[in-house]
Structure 1
Amino acid sequence: MSPTQNIVLITGANQGIGYAVAEQLLKHENYFILLGSRNAENGIKAAAKLDPSGKSVEPITIDVTDDASIQQAADQIASKYGHIDVLINNAGNNNEFTHYWKQQESKEEIKLDLAALRQIYREAYDVNLFGAAITTEAFIPLLKKANAKPARIVFVSSHTGSIGLRTDPSSEFYERMSRPSFPAYRSSKTAMNMLTLHYAAMFKEQGWKVNASCPNLTKSAFTRFSDLGRSPAESAVNIVRLANLPENGETGQYLDENGIVAW
């Protein structure tokens, strides 16, 4: 890699939105991609597909639910590169989709027992909130050494985490957002939004740009390639923009490609 390249780590990037973000960032000559993947083999394959030369993409094994894995990734990157310039917390979980599709296929209500319900909540929060928080903490020392200014953090959130959209009848999203669906996933993304504000405030004086992006419903493995979703490439656009923010760019915001989203 070139000394002038921005180093960006993307978690959960071997497929879907994360992969599309990497693909679009590669169109910017100044980016070196650390392609995060929970499964090492999947990461290697995805990195080779993105960049057969290996000059601009390197696979990094990181499981955001495993503290040892997070620390190992941080140590590996610190030893080899000494810093990162951008962190994109993209890894996500919505096991409620699995239950939803089972109900759709059976056409009958499938009642979860309490233990199964607790597990769904635990897994959603473990990735979407705890994983994003612990990963951010692990990489703050490397972001403090960023070559590019400002350092940037992007949390990949969701419109479904917006309390504003959920409660505003005048919103075009209200009908969809006010439905009683996916409470574990949605509440975990609401919590992620508060995490965004926390880190934006923490590094405001240093000029860091810390924002949350709403990619919208996307056709990917995450949603079992739902026909209702749009392409990962479309959903990646605003994430890529936030990863490229200049010194006068926004921070502490919750946005999609059309602008600010109500918290």
Structure 2
Amino acid sequence: MPVALITGANGGLGRAIAESLATEHGYHVVIGSRNAAEGEAVAVLLQQRGFSASNIQIDLLSDESIREAVKSVEAAHGELHVLVNNAGVHLEITETDLSTRQLLNQTFQVNTFGTTVLTEACLPLLLRADTPRIVFVSSRNGSISQSLDKDWPMYGVQHPAYKASKAALNMLAVRYVEKLEAVGGMVNMMVGFHPDARSPEVAAKKVVEMATLGKGGPTGTFIDANGPIPW
């Protein structure tokens, strides 16, 4: 049975992705979440419905937590077929008294640094699998071309920490395109999942599609539900 690890899977988009992979595609889903109790609750509900699921606690701010989580996946499964990097923060959508440096640091620590540390730690397990896939849940806000487009509805919205963290993540994702292509793996960056725009269940469909690609599928793409968008 193929194994998928989804971060931030205790609710919202991450949970919808995990439920779809388990119930519609026959994956064992590993519910990754910072809140272990919430992650366990999602895994138990799937198990009670007859699907294969487990949970692990992952704090993207802690290298030790990431190491222990990956060790747990290795001990239980030996390999990893799919990694969905869904967890992230957007501190600028709420009022905050953080300084500019604090805002940048806290945003990058989760969205960019923690996600990359986890992906790097999972790489050996992914390389053991047949046709490994990584999906980075990124953002249209990480597109420089889009951010300079005066016709874009979000043009001029001042969320510099979030935008920069996602732009950096997109570039770091390229490393894994190169790492996985030698074994026929695929890495894609997905955007367009703002909760006001579509439900988690609808938004999850394209992520799941990219997480279940067969051999020879697209890789290195920056896309939304309608196809590629400019970087």
For the superposition of Structure 1 and Structure 2, which TM-score range results when normalised by the shorter chain? over 0.9
Which of the two has higher C-alpha Rg? 1
CA deviation map 1:178-214 (0-9, x unaligned): 2132110111111111112121023222211011001
Q: Which residue is equivalent to 2:164?
A: 187
> Match for residue 127 of structure 2?
144
Please give the root-mean-square deviation of Cα atoms over the aligned residues, in Å. 1.6
Question: How far off is 1:55 after superposition?
Answer: 4.5
Output one character per residue of 1:192-246: Cα deviation in whole Å (capped at 9) or x when no partner. 111121210232222110110013311xxxxxxxxx3421112111110110111
Structure 1 segment 42-191 matched on structure 2, within 5 A: 42-52=38-48, 55-99=51-95, 112=97, 116-146=99-129, 149-169=130-150, 174-191=151-168
Q: Distance in 1 between matches of 2:179 and 2:94?
A: 37
Aligned to 2:188: 211
- Counterpart CA distance in 1 for 2:40 and 2:28 is 15
1:12 to 8, 16, 19: 8
TM-score by length of 2: 0.94
Aligned to 1:225: none
**Which sections of structure 2, spanning at least 5 residues, go unmatched?**
none
Counterpart of 2:178 in structure 1 is: 201
Unpaired stretches in structure 1, ≥5 consecutive residues: 103-111, 219-227
In structure 2, C-alpha distance between the alignment counterparts of 1:159 and 1:246, rounded to whole Å = 26
* Overall identity of the aligned pairs, in %: 39
Per the alignment, do residues 249 and 238 of structure 1 end up closer, same or farther by CA in structure 2, a change over 3 Å counting? same
CA–CA distance in 2 between the matches of 1:72 and 1:235? 30
Partners of 1:215 and 1:238 within 8 A in 2: no
1:32–1:57 Cα contact (<8 Å) kept: yes
Distance of 1:259 and 1:229 partners within structure 2? 17
Q: How far off is 1:27 after superposition?
A: 2.9
Query: What's the counterpart of residue 214 of structure 2?
Result: 246
Q: Give 1:17 deviation, angstroms.
A: 0.6
TM-score calculated relative to the size of structure 1: 0.83
